[in-house]
Chains A and B, each alone.
Chain A
Amino acid sequence: MTVYSFWIFDRHCNCVFDREWTIPSEARSGTLNSRQNDDTAKLLYGMLFSLQSITNKIADPAMGANNVQCITMGNFRVHAFKTASGLWFLLLTDFKQQNYSQVLQHLYSEVYVKYVVHNWLSPVDFAFTSDETQGQGFRKIHNRRFVAAVESVLQPMLV
């Protein structure tokens, strides 16, 4: 069950955190928060956003919220988790394991809430100016305990 990358997008369509592993079994490889206004981040979010808007249109309003959970591509799979506050947690993996929703939920409730929401030294909303609230944001979550916690959760899944 190889994990290729992990992304967090906020409600302003900005990428707030990204971690990619370029060499699959090498835990220390890859990049952290290197996608500034990179194409890949915007494309990934755009794809997710369009699919989510289709889903909203097709869905029966009586059945409650209908969020994209998993997108299967030819080579890899995208697992998505949307929080009530509009945050998207994405995990790009291979085909070996089917269900990553537990992992994503754990990352949200035990890592993000603990080290970003309960942390009085870190903002929750990373967009400071009106430009940044419209998709031009560039601030990322860099605080070391959050990063270390993400690594410790996802490292066992790299192989």
Chain B
Amino acid sequence: MSIEAILIVNKSGGLIYHRDFNNKTSATHLNGNDYLILASTVHSVFAIASQVTPKALKLSPPKIDFTIPYHPYVGVPNPNSSNTSNRRTVSSQKLGSFKGPDFFNGPFTSWNKSGIRQLITDHFTMYIYQSLTGLKFVALGSSVAVLGKNAAVSNEVADNFLRKVYCVYSEYVMKDPFYSLEMPIKSKTFDQSVKSLVDNLL
């Protein structure tokens, strides 16, 4: 799964972070305005989603398990792999103030109970992860999650990945005393760690 772009949308629907990760030609490149529109559309559709619930669900809410299984080493180099150069970089890489090679080691519950989680189209897939504080992390993947067993797994992997982005966000953005809430993020260290997360995903 290769990530094309990551966006972060704040509680009021404004775009606070956006980053492209491929070197596409400018023909398909969307300008800044387009991304703003995209962010606000995603936000409003997200809000509508809870109202579109079918009646059957409103009458008898099913017991859906919102825990997401843990996929190890998503976005982080795997120290157990046989790649020796990997081993050297792992020990020197510090994931902020988190201890251990990977951020987490267990399944977690999804906070996204009534909004959009995944959008599959003919040519790409979009994943949305919502934090408890209402922040939405959007990832655009270029491969199509083949509608089969693949879709659920890719959704879980994306959730694991976006949760790590959330961790990096809380590390480098929330701890920045000069950062004002809900404003666009301009932090070099944040950019770097997001880039390394994406690079390690491939």
Contacts and interface: CB of A to CB of B under 8 A. Distances in A.
A49 to B, nearest CB: 10
Contacts of B59: 22-23
B114 A73 contact: yes
Contacts of B49: 47, 73-74
A84 to B, nearest CB: 14
B151 A70 contact: yes
Q: Is the interface of B mostly helix, strand, loop or mixed?
A: mixed
Contacts of A20: 54-56
Nearest to B54: A4
A119 to B, nearest CB: 29
Interface string A64-87: 111111111111101000000000
B56 A66 contact: no
B123 A59 contact: yes
Contact of B45 (A2, A5, A50, A76): A50
B1 interface: no
Q: Is the interface of A mostly helix, strand, loop or mixed?
A: mixed
Interface residues of B, number: 47
Nearest to B149: A98
Interface in B28-55: 28, 30, 34, 37-38, 41-42, 44-45, 48-49, 51-55
B113 A70 contact: no
Contacts of A76: 53-54, 57
Interface of A: 2, 4-5, 20-24, 30, 39-40, 43-44, 46-47, 50-51, 53-55, 57-61, 63-76, 78, 92, 94-95, 98-99, 101
18 contacts: A2-B56, A4-B54, A4-B57, A5-B56, A30-B55, A40-B51, A43-B48, A50-B45, A58-B124, A58-B140, A63-B123, A66-B122, A68-B119, A70-B151, A74-B49, A74-B113, A76-B53, A101-B147
